[in-house]
Amino acid sequence: MATGTRPSELRFLDPAVLARLGTLELKARTVVEGFLSGLHRSPFKGFSVEFAEYRQYMPGDDLSSIDWKVYARSDRYYVKKFEEETNLDCYLLLDVSASMGYGSRGVTKLEYASMLAGSLAFLMQRQRDAVGLTTFDDSIVTMLPPSARPSHLRSLLVTLDRMTLGNQTNVAKPLHQLADGIAKRGLVILISDLIDEPERVVDGLRHFRFRGADVVVFHVMDPAELTFPFTRASRFRDIEGGDELMAVPSVVREQYLGELNGTIDRYRRELGAAGIDYRLLDTSEPLEFALMSYLSTRGKGRK
Amino acid sequence: MISFLSPLFLAGAAAVVIPIAIHLFYKRAEPLIDFAATRYLRRAPVEQSQRRRLRELVLLALRAAALLLLALAFARPYLSQSAVALAAPATMVLVDTSVSMSGPGEFERARAKALQVIADAPIGHSVGVLSFGAGSTSVAPLSQDRGRARAAIANLTPGAGATRYRAALARAAEEFGDRSGRLVVITDLQQTGWDGADQGGVPDRLTVDVEGVEGPTANTALTALRVDGPEAVAIVQNYSSRMVTTEVVFSIDDRRIGASAVSMASGGSAEARLSLEGQASGRLAAAVDDRQGYAADNVRYAVLDTANAPLILAVTASGNPAESFYLDRAVGITEGPGGFRFRAVSGPAFSDLQPPALAEASVIVILGTRGLEQRGRELLAGFIRSGGGVLITAGPDVDPAILKGALNGIMQTSWRDREAVPSEKTLRFAPDDSRHPVFRLFGGVGTLGNVSFSHAALIDVPATADVVARYSDGSAALVEERTAGGRVLIFASDINDRWNDFPLQPAFVPFIHEALRYLTSSRVAKAEYLVGELPGLEGLTPGVTALKNDARSRRVAVNVDPRESDPARMSADDFRAGVSRLNATAQREASTEARDQEDGQRLWQYALLLMVVSLAAEGMLGRRLG
């Protein structure tokens, strides 16, 4: 779980600080450049089609990576290593429902999600992947088809920058619509707070898997949602429905957290079972962790 | 309708703003947090805001109710019958039809004024006519039919009743019911019209106006007629500023039996007497001819009937007439109209008397107690308790022990026999209190001093008795016992010429008469009534009528109220002051009545109980809300 493995390095930017930076492009560049500059390149070798080096075969290596021509010449087993270069289509699905507007510490879930989407798009662009963006609440709001052109990144970031909050969450419906629309096998990244019926969400994501896409789910949650830190008896107004609930936090906290953690566990279990990568993101967490999750998923997909 | 004994306490209900303010403040103090993940809260013990708001409103209502009920309880509520004036306004004419309206031309003027009031009544007002004299009668109930009211006024005539403004106004207020409006009293403003009673009153929604009618300034009236022994005595009053001489004509059953002329100074009165010798019974009437004054008081009636004379029942030892000879003779002298009837019975015969026969007696004279059985003793005690008069002669045939036992609890006086007095030291007796009615006629000792007693009882006078006469040795000769019922006189000797020579003395007959008259005064049946005092039509017409009582019928006279004969008037302002006094009294009465009603209903207790219930419910609900 991402929240449980917060690193101590200070080189990652606090999302709240990041949110105060200028344009989304700047934010994305800041994240990605910082992220890449701190990464050791070696973990990502093998993802690319561009030749990098030979290495002597070790037991356990994929037999398909053995260069048989070298073996013919030298009678030794060598393994070819590549740098990633793809024509992969990546679909960023961003939840813009009203509940995403919640933020307890300077950055809302939507801001965090859009920075994440921007960073991912920026990163993908650098790796020459085609990236598309779809925003939705209870239906699809905007849709940018995947493209690897540099100008596309700009329009994608502008779209992210101009996003406004929508209506109530209904993840399943737009997921099914999008799954039907994907013509080519690709990578689907869902960024949402998943405030919906888990069954319907999982069902929608399975649809992508059925179409052959790799799926990464970033479950964005505010720290206040994860810890329920309130102390005074208060009226809690649902951002989406406007319903008010009167609760004494000390009384309801245990049950709330139990309910929340049960749902998270359920997502993790059911999505894992469906071959979907699930990451829970705390909006107080640096975005780099999310990028790391993405790259590891990307790597697994290429193996 | 709900009313309040202390309505000022209702101001305390303003305290209801306190919980309302707290409610509003409390709402503001509770933070409102926008939250996205309320989905995970719903299964926790939270409360839907709408439901909470409803509960808070219920709480507020309970708190407010508790405060309101507290204020209500302190205001002492009660349910009253009074109603709010809702019906259309009305005008009612109250026409005085009493005797004092029967002067020459007087009632015609009253009628004209009444018709004028009806004509002047505002359009839309209901109109009604009420006559008052001998009782108050609504001759034209309130309605829009003015023709009916005019016809009712045309049919009115002065009667024989007395002016009673209070009763008339109360009746009119009843007729008005819930309406508002105006009462116009057409009257001669007779001074005696405001009687002593203080019930009634006119509600605030009614205004009272008075229209005075000029009446006669002089009046000659017969104000009393009675049978005094063998004579008829009529009293004539002159209500004028000059001397009047007139003739009083007496008649029995409309048959003239004689006349008597009288002269009266201004404002004075005179007695006219006529012997009734040879007349045993009938309707006695006296009349004067007065054409300037009121007509109804020119004649007065009395009943001439020996059957009405009080019955003296003597209880003797054996029933032998000789044992009551002197008493019989003394009483018999006055038999006839205005006298007594006499009957002597033995002790056993008295014991066998039936209650109706005993009730007929006015006085029982105990001359002997021999043969007075237990039942007879009980009859005697019952007779005194019911108001009868008893003369006990402590003679040789009367056993003090028997009477003391019979009248235990009624009479404390006891006596005992004493030695016969030597002839040279015979006792005399004299009144101890010459103002006592028995001795008033004698004007001191008089001829009583000639009576000599050779034997006398020695009376022990208790604190419950008064000595009326004493013997020359200072012992009590005549004692009156104060009882809760009738009167009891104890004479400390006999009255049949055995222990004294009293029956042979001239003082005996007047003494016996005065004593019997004094003893009967509490028992004599009323023989004269004023118009309106008896029920039915007979009670409204002057004359003689039969009055049935306990299967017995007796004749009584019905005469006009002599106060009606006085033509003295008050001013309209005096009349209005009388209405104000009446209303003030009525308000005091209403206040007392309200207090009694409230005391009887005790609604404040229910209000307090409800308040406690409200507070308990508030506490429980509030605790549940947290």
Q: What is the pLDDT of residues B355-374, one digit of tens each?
A: 777 877 889 999 998 888 88
CA distance B81 to B84: 10
In this prediction, residue B534 carries a pLDDT of: 78
Residue A264 pLDDT greater than 90, yes or no: yes
Q: Which chain A residue lies closest to B35 (C-alpha atoms)?
A: A238
Same domain, yes or no, for A59 and A122? no
Q: What is the pLDDT of residues B51-76, one digit of tens each?
A: 777 878 888 898 899 999 999 889 88
Place of tokens 């992508």: A208
In this prediction, residue A263 carries a pLDDT of: 92
Considering just the CA atoms, what is the radius of gyration of chain A in Å?
A: 21
SS3 B575: helix
Same domain, yes or no, for A123 and A181? yes
Longest dimension (CA), chain B: 136
Size of interface A-B (CB pairs under 8 A): 98
Residue B270 pLDDT greater than 60, yes or no: yes
Which amino acid is located at B539 in the chain? G
Q: Which chain A residue lies closest to B33 (C-alpha atoms)?
A: A236
The answer to whether A139 touches A173, Cβ cutoff 8 Å, is yes
Angle between helices B49-74 and B17-29 (to 10 degrees): 160
In chain A, % of residues over pLDDT 70? 75
Residue A45: pLDDT band with limits 50, 70, 90: very low
Return the higher-pLDDT residue of A48 and B581.
B581
Residues of B in contact with A109 (CB under 8 A): 36
For testing contact with chain B, the best of A169, A245, A257 (most B CBs within 10 A): A245
In this prediction, residue A21 carries a pLDDT of: 55
Residues of B in contact with A167 (CB under 8 A): none
Q: Which chain A residue lies closest to B625 (C-alpha atoms)?
A: A246
Return the higher-pLDDT residue of B343 and A6.
B343
* Mean pLDDT confidence for A271-295: 82
Residue B49 pLDDT greater than 90, yes or no: no
Residues of B in contact with A259 (CB under 8 A): 40-41, 43-44
Contact B36 A235 (CB under 8 A): no
Same domain, yes or no, for A31 and A119? yes
Residues of A in contact with B35 (CB under 8 A): 102, 224-225, 236-239
Q: Work out the minimum CA distance from B596 to partner chain A, whole angstroms.
A: 52
CA distance B435 to B417: 29
Residue A44 pLDDT greater than 50, yes or no: no
CA distance B602 to B215: 53
In this prediction, residue B47 carries a pLDDT of: 64
Which of A12-16, B48-52, B259-263 has the largest mean confidence? Answer: B259-263
Same domain, yes or no, for A172 and A258? yes
Q: Which chain B residue lies closest to A101 (C-alpha atoms)?
A: B36
Return the higher-pLDDT residue of A228 and A129.
A228
What token pair was written down for B438? Answer: 């028995």
Contact A240 B50 (CB under 8 A): no
Residues of B in contact with A224 (CB under 8 A): 35
Residues of A in contact with B28 (CB under 8 A): none
Question: Could you tell me the CA-to-CA distances from A161 to A20, A117, A241, B522 in Å, in that order?
Answer: 13, 11, 25, 120
Residues 25-54 in B contacting A (C-alpha not used; CB under 8 Å)? 30-50, 52
CA distance B565 to B299: 12
Q: How many CB atoms lie within 10 A of CB B472?
A: 16
In this prediction, residue A206 carries a pLDDT of: 87
Residues of B in contact with A263 (CB under 8 A): 40
- DSSP 8-state symbol, A63: G
Same domain, yes or no, for A158 and A75? no
The answer to whether A218 touches A113, Cβ cutoff 8 Å, is yes
* Mean pLDDT confidence for A86-96: 80
Contact B46 A237 (CB under 8 A): no
Return the higher-pLDDT residue of A111 and A292.
A111
Same domain, yes or no, for A26 and A130? yes
Contact B34 A102 (CB under 8 A): yes
Residues of A in contact with B50 (CB under 8 A): 244
Residues of B in contact with A100 (CB under 8 A): 36
Q: Work out the minimum CA distance from A108 to partner chain B, whole angstroms.
A: 11
- Give residue limits of the domains in chain B: 90-215+569-592, 219-306+527-565, 311-520
Burial readout A229-249 (b: 16 or more C-beta within 10 A, e: otherwise):
ebeeebbbbbbbeeebbbbbb
CA distance B90 to B490: 66
Q: What is the pLDDT of residues B579-594, one digit of tens each?
A: 777 777 777 777 787 7
Residue B45 pLDDT greater than 90, yes or no: no
Helix locations, B346-498, DSSP H: 347-351, 355-360, 374-385, 400-406
Contact B35 A238 (CB under 8 A): yes
Q: Work out the minimum CA distance from A196 to partner chain B, whole angstroms.
A: 9
Over chain A, what is the mean pLDDT? 77
Which range has the worst mean pLDDT, A212-221, B224-233, B335-344, B481-490? B335-344
Contact B44 A237 (CB under 8 A): no
Q: For chain A, what is the domain count?
A: 2
- DSSP 8-state symbol, B500: B
Q: Work out the minimum CA distance from A103 to partner chain B, whole angstroms.
A: 9
* Mean pLDDT confidence for B245-250: 91
Contact A235 B35 (CB under 8 A): no
Q: What is the pLDDT of residues B435-483, one digit of tens each?
A: 888 887 777 667 788 888 988 999 998 888 899 999 988 899 999 987 8
Handedness of CA B97, B98, B102, B107 (dihedral sign): negative
Residue among A100, A234, A256 whose CB faces B33 most closely: A234
Q: Work out the minimum CA distance from A198 to partner chain B, whole angstroms.
A: 12
Q: Work out the minimum CA distance from A222 to partner chain B, whole angstroms.
A: 9
Strands B47-48 vs A244-247: parallel, antiparallel or unpaired = antiparallel
Contact B38 A102 (CB under 8 A): no
Residue among B34, B35, B37 whose CB faces A260 most closely: B37
First-residue to last-residue Cα distance in chain A: 23
Element (H, E) at B317: none
Of A83, A100, A133, the domain-final residue: A83
What token pair was written down for B333? Answer: 């002298």
Q: Which chain B residue lies closest to A108 (C-alpha atoms)?
A: B36
* Angle at alpha carbon of residue A171, lines to A165 and A177, rounded to 5°: 105
Residues of B in contact with A102 (CB under 8 A): 34-37
CA distance B316 to B365: 9
Contact A239 B30 (CB under 8 A): no
Contact B38 A109 (CB under 8 A): no
Which range has the worst mean pLDDT, A90-99, B409-418, B540-549? B540-549
Contacts 24+ apart (CB under 8 A), A37-40: A38/A9, A38/A11, A38/A288
* Mean pLDDT confidence for A29-33: 64
Same domain, yes or no, for A61 and A185? no
User: What CATH number is given to the structural domain containing A227?
Assistant: 3.40.50.410
Q: What is the pLDDT of residues B516-573, one digit of tens each?
A: 888 887 666 667 788 877 777 777 888 888 877 655 677 788 888 888 888 888 888 8
Candidates 3.40.50.1370, 3.40.50.880, 3.40.50.720, 3.90.600.10; correct CATH number of B311-520? Answer: 3.40.50.880
In this prediction, residue A7 carries a pLDDT of: 39
Residues of A in contact with B33 (CB under 8 A): 230, 234-237
The answer to whether A113 touches A101, Cβ cutoff 8 Å, is no
Return the higher-pLDDT residue of B83 and B500.
B500
In CATH, the architecture of B219-306+527-565 is Sandwich (2.60)
Residues of B in contact with A113 (CB under 8 A): none
Q: What is the pLDDT of residues B144-185, one digit of tens each?
A: 888 888 998 888 888 888 888 888 888 888 888 777 888 898
In this prediction, residue A42 carries a pLDDT of: 38
Residue B84: pLDDT band with limits 50, 70, 90: very low
Contact B35 A251 (CB under 8 A): no
In this prediction, residue A86 carries a pLDDT of: 46
Residue A82: pLDDT band with limits 50, 70, 90: low
The answer to whether B341 touches B306, Cβ cutoff 8 Å, is yes
Residue among B34, B36, B46 whose CB faces A252 most closely: B46
* Angle at alpha carbon of residue B21, lines to B17 and B26, rounded to 5°: 150
Question: Could you tell me the CA-to-CA distances from A59 to A55, A81, B227, B295 in Å, in that order?
Answer: 12, 16, 161, 155
Q: Work out the minimum CA distance from A143 to partner chain B, whole angstroms.
A: 25
- In which domain, by residue range, is A250 found? 3-42+86-302
- DSSP 8-state symbol, B327: H
Residue A33 pLDDT greater than 50, yes or no: yes
Which range has the worst mean pLDDT, A50-64, A105-119, B382-396? A50-64
Residue A169: pLDDT band with limits 50, 70, 90: confident
Residues of A in contact with B36 (CB under 8 A): 98-102, 109, 193, 195, 222, 225, 238-240
Q: Which residues of A touch B (CB under 8 A)?
A: 98-102, 109, 193, 195, 221-222, 224-225, 230, 232-241, 243-248, 251-252, 255-256, 259-260, 263
Which amino acid is located at B391 in the chain? L
* Angle at alpha carbon of residue B609, lines to B607 and B610, rounded to 5°: 65
Burial readout B415-437 (b: 16 or more C-beta within 10 A, e: otherwise):
beeeeebeeeebbbbbbbebebe
Contact A245 B47 (CB under 8 A): yes
Residue B614 pLDDT greater than 80, yes or no: yes
For testing contact with chain B, the best of A99, A200, A244 (most B CBs within 10 A): A244
In chain B, % of residues over pLDDT 70? 92
Residues of B in contact with A219 (CB under 8 A): none
Residue A2 pLDDT greater than 50, yes or no: no
Contact A237 B40 (CB under 8 A): no
For testing contact with chain A, the best of B28, B30, B32, B33 (most A CBs within 10 A): B33
Residue B431 pLDDT greater than 50, yes or no: yes
Residues of A in contact with B49 (CB under 8 A): 235, 243-246
Return the higher-pLDDT residue of A19 and B207.
B207
CA distance A152 to A285: 28
Q: Under the phi-then-psi rule, with left for phi > 0, alpha for psi from -120 to 50, and beta for the rest, what region is B452? A: beta
In this prediction, residue B315 carries a pLDDT of: 92
* Mean pLDDT confidence for A165-181: 80
Same domain, yes or no, for A9 and A115? yes
CA distance B593 to B586: 10
Residue B597 pLDDT greater than 90, yes or no: no
Strands A214-221 vs A277-282: parallel, antiparallel or unpaired = parallel
Angle between helices B508-520 and B325-332 (to 10 degrees): 80
Residues of B in contact with A107 (CB under 8 A): none
In this prediction, residue B524 carries a pLDDT of: 61
Strand ranges in B154-298 using DSSP code E only, listed in sequence order: 181-187, 206-212, 219-228, 231-239, 244-252, 255-264, 269-275, 281-287
Contact A102 B31 (CB under 8 A): no
Residues of B in contact with A247 (CB under 8 A): 41, 44-47
Q: What share of chain B is helix, strand, coil (3-state, %, to 5)?
A: 35, 30, 35
**Could you give phi then psi for residue B201, rounded to 5 degrees?**
130, 160
Of A61, A83, A105, the domain-final residue: A83
Residue B242 pLDDT greater than 60, yes or no: yes
Q: What does CATH list as the number for B90-215+569-592?
A: 3.40.50.410
Same fold, B90-215+569-592 and B311-520: yes
CA nearest to A119, candidates A37, A12, A29, A221? A29
Over chain B, what is the mean pLDDT? 83
